[in-house]
Amino acid sequence: IGIMPYFTTLCVYFLMILNPVMTNTITEDIEVLVFLPQNNSFLFSYARVAPAIRYAQQKMKADGNQYSGFHFNIHFENSDCVNDALFTLLDRSCGQKPDLILGPVCEYEAAAVVRLASHWKIPVISAGALATGFGNKKTEFSHLTRIAPSYVKMAETFTAMFEHFTWKSALLVYEDDKEERNCYFTLEGVYHLMADYTIKTYQFSEEDPLNVDDILQNIYDIEVMIMCMGADKIREIMLAAHRRQLTSGNYMFFNVELFNSSSYGNGSWKRGDKYDNDARQAYASLNTVTLLRTVKPEFENFLIEMTKSIEKAGLNDCKDCGNVNMFVEGFHDAMLLYAIALHEAMKSGYSKKNGTEITSRMWNRTFEGIAGQVSMDVNGDRNGDFSLMAMTNVEAGAYEVVANYFGVNGTFQLLPAFNIDHFTLKGRHKEYPEMPDKACGLGVSALTGVIVGAVLGTVMLIAFYFFRKNYRITIERRTHGEECDSGKHRQLREDSIRSNFSAA
Ligand SMILES: *[C@@H]1O[C@H](CO)[C@@H](O)[C@H](O)[C@H]1NC(C)=O
Ligand SMILES: *[C@@H]1O[C@H](CO)[C@@H](O)[C@H](O)[C@H]1NC(C)=O
Ligand SMILES: *[C@@H]1O[C@H](CO)[C@@H](O)[C@H](O)[C@H]1NC(C)=O
Ligand SMILES: *[C@@H]1O[C@H](CO)[C@@H](O)[C@H](O)[C@H]1NC(C)=O
Ligand SMILES: *[C@@H]1O[C@H](CO)[C@@H](O)[C@H](O)[C@H]1NC(C)=O
Ligand SMILES: *[C@@H]1O[C@H](CO)[C@@H](O)[C@H](O)[C@H]1NC(C)=O
């Protein structure tokens, strides 16, 4: 007699707890394969990024919300930025294929993995694969979702500025390491998007001594110079430009610094040498495009946890490395985005094995990421927010964010520190001299073809790379054979060789 009401109460109580869970939670095991480099010289190494993935996993479990029924079996595999990820994916997929792939970040490695995964209809989410060619989601990159803003998204900042300030011409100067080619791909995004402007490119190889005279010779009929290279080389160029009186407002200088934004700013001109004073004055005309960082209260706890993990891994050897970067945030948010899409798809009766359906549900949507709102465009690429930094106090050599660009609505927002005078070209003729003949240049459509082809040709390239260790020498030799006076498009030609491979 005494037990029945007690039991009923207990049952009701139990149901009350279970009810929201039962109506919303879906239980599922998800096999996740993650490709991250063990090598800590990468900002997206295992030791830096894995804690963020685990953080997202644990948070979803602990929250007891609709995603707590998802059980992620996460397997971390090495990515060496060449072949490791592709071979591991092949080997592991002989048995059971993964339901989700996170990474790789490196462009060439990602191309191969994404191509195979798309063929198998497995969703891939990467905070890398930022090159322009990956934007082609019609065929071979169909299952790729890019959770960090690509280089083309970054380039929107430049088109917004060019429009706002009515600039017409740019010189793109970049250093090419011929391996990961981050600077090549960064400025490729700008080149791709700025088809309506007069664009000249100048590339030099890492090993070559910097020929500042040759570079600055190209600037005279140009308004804006956009650079991507190591900090010391930027300083060298800025010092040379200053000596030639190109830094008095008659030219605009920009550099792109996407992954190391926190360390950029005050003091980057400073080296403690006798050129510091000149460098400070030269940098008054150098502006930096960088990622816009947002912070919200939940981010604090994430930051503390990530810092702890990084310290535990013994990585706190430099100031910047402790910071949460775009890759760390991105892979955290990748877990959330997948969970949202999977939950929605399963509620609509699809299985986790329908990668096409899940992928399509990750695109064209906005959700709350760890550091703020994340907005994915209809093509499955994240819309990017970027900041423009400029020296606002030349005496102190101090930088500030003077404007922001919001990719989601294409707005270029000026901040109080913005000074129009700083961005007004001075002492220029209205007439622009004719461009030198472009016998050696590539048309935009040709370039686009080459670029798409380059990424498409990667599987062939990797095979070539693997079997012919001397591939670089081969290509170098071929390039030498080409009769091209300036040599400025050498790199593009190497790519066209790559795309010829893919066509073969
Ligand atoms: C890590 O990567 C850097 C730069 O790519 C390279 O110099 C270094 O040898 C690598 N270390 C290992 C252990 O592979
Ligand atoms: C970030 O930038 C600073 C200053 O330019 C440089 O010393 C540091 O090595 C960079 N960090 C990484 C991880 O690239
Ligand atoms: C996956 O979902 C799509 C709809 O997005 C559907 O057309 C297709 O048949 C599904 N595939 C499988 C294997 O269920
Ligand atoms: C994207 O989402 C919006 C609303 O969120 C919708 O109106 C639009 O049709 C979607 N576009 C595509 C291509 O699915
Ligand atoms: C640079 O330092 C000044 C003070 O010296 C400070 O007001 C400013 O916010 C700093 N800017 C950045 C970007 O750190
Ligand atoms: C554009 O988006 C940003 C960030 O979401 C917002 O702060 C800004 O007000 C928006 N601007 C316009 C004109 O809608």
Q: What's the one-letter identity of residue 254?
A: F
Report the separation in Å between the CA atom of 259 and the middle of ligand 1, taken as the mean of its atom positions: 19
Q: Domains in the chain, start-ordered, CATH in brackets?
A: 29-148+297-376 (3.40.50.2300), 152-293+385-423 (3.40.50.2300), 444-503 (no CATH)
Examine the pLDDT at 457 and tell me if it is beyond 50.
yes
**Cβ of 262 below 6 Å from ligand 2:** no
Q: Give the closest residue (by CA) to ligand 1 atom 14.
A: 39
- DSSP state, residue 136: -
Instruction: Name the pLDDT band for 468 (thresholds 50, 70, 90).
Output: very low
CA of 80 from ligand 1 middle (Å) equals: 9
Rounded to two decimals, what is the model's pTM? 0.82
Per-residue pLDDT tens over the stretch 28-80: 999 999 999 999 888 899 999 999 999 999 999 998 889 999 999 999 999 99
Closest CA to ligand 2's atom 3? 263
Task: For residue range 432-441, list pLDDT tens digits in order.
Answer: 444 444 444 4
With 80 as the cut, is the pLDDT of residue 201 above it?
yes
How many CB atoms are located within 10 Å of the residue 262 CB? Answer: 15
Atom of ligand 3 nearest to the CA of 357: 5
348 lines ligand 1 (CB under 6 A): no
| Nearest Cα residue to atom 2 of ligand 4 | 364
Q: Which ligand has the nearest atom to the CA of 177? A: 1
CA distance linking residue 476 with residue 481, whole number of Å: 9
Question: CA 495 → CA 82, 200, 439, 447, 479, distances in Å?
Answer: 17, 18, 18, 10, 11
Q: Which atom of ligand 2 is nearest to the CA of 320?
A: 11
Residue 196 pLDDT class (50, 70, 90 cuts): very high
Positive or negative, the CA dihedral 341, 346, 349, 352 is positive
